[in-house]
Amino acid sequence: MTDERELIGRAREGDERAFRELYDRHVDALYRFLKQYSDDSFCVEDWVQRAFIQAFQAIDSFRSSSKFSTWLFTIGLNEMRSDARRKNIVAFDSRELESWDGREEEQGDFLWVDAMKGWIRELDETKRSVFLLYEVEGYTHGEVGEMLGITESTSRALLCRAKQILRSKAQSQEKRE
């Protein structure tokens, strides 16, 4: 397995195989992350494609002091936001949620997973991004802050607030059952 810094160096020199390996390493994670903002797979694929195009066109501006994935996720978020502004989208559709494993089950844990995905989508964009980047993708608060242009302490506070909101929604759901 090639070191990522070496791949970035080769990509800066125009090595297409290095570009391809960087793409292969990060495409699934970027898609999974951006999928939380829209149910439209074609739209998400477009954001991912445009994020990679921008990243590869601007590879010389990448600062090696941060992780490539941090930089790439920032570009992906910016693509999603730009597209939303262009289309004048205020909120993304969360009516047709998919199960984590792709099966359409009607009972048990699936209902909770389905509900949780819907609740996550209801969070405002910043809380949702912090929650997904930290809890799902495993970035540190420092990395999340860098991606979103906020401080590390703001990232921590937003994560805490997002968890409070989700916990409250879960408790309300339990009372109804």
- Three-state SS annotation for 143-169: HHHHHHCCCHHHHHHHHHHHHHHHHHH
Angle at 51 between CA 81 and CA 16, to 5 degrees: 175
**What does each of the 177 residues of the chain score in pLDDT, given as a tens digit?**
568 889 999 999 999 999 999 999 999 999 999 988 888 889 899 999 999 999 999 999 998 778 899 999 999 998 988 887 776 544 343 333 333 344 434 444 445 567 778 888 889 989 999 998 998 888 899 999 998 999 999 999 999 999 999 888 888 877 776
> Do the two domains 1-93 and 95-177 of this chain adopt the same fold?
no
The reply to whether the predicted model has a pTM over 0.85 is: no
Report the length, in residues, of the chain.
177
Structural domain spans, the chain:
1-93, 95-177
For the 95-177 domain, the top CATH level (class) is mainly alpha
- What tokens does 161 get? 């607030």
Domain covering 1-93: architecture: Orthogonal Bundle (1.10)
Q: Largest Cα–Cα distance of the chain, in whole Å?
A: 59
> Do the beta carbons of residue 33 and residue 132 sit within 8 Å?
yes
| Six-digit token string for 173 | 């759901």
Cβ neighbors of 8 (< 8 A, separation 6 or more) are 18, 22, 59, 62, 64, 68
- What's the sign of the alpha-carbon dihedral 152, 157, 161, 167? positive
The DSSP annotation for 70-117 comes to HHHHHHHHHHHHHHHHHHT-SS---SSPPPTTS----STHHHHHHHHH
* Burial letters 87-103, b for 16+ CB under 10 A, else e: eeeeebebeebeeeeee
Q: What's the start-to-end Cα distance of the chain, in Å? A: 50
Q: What confidence score (pLDDT) does residue 112 get? A: 59
**Of 82, 115, 74, whose CA–CA distance to 97 is shortest?**
115
Given this model, what pLDDT does residue 119 score?
87
pLDDT for res 94? 36
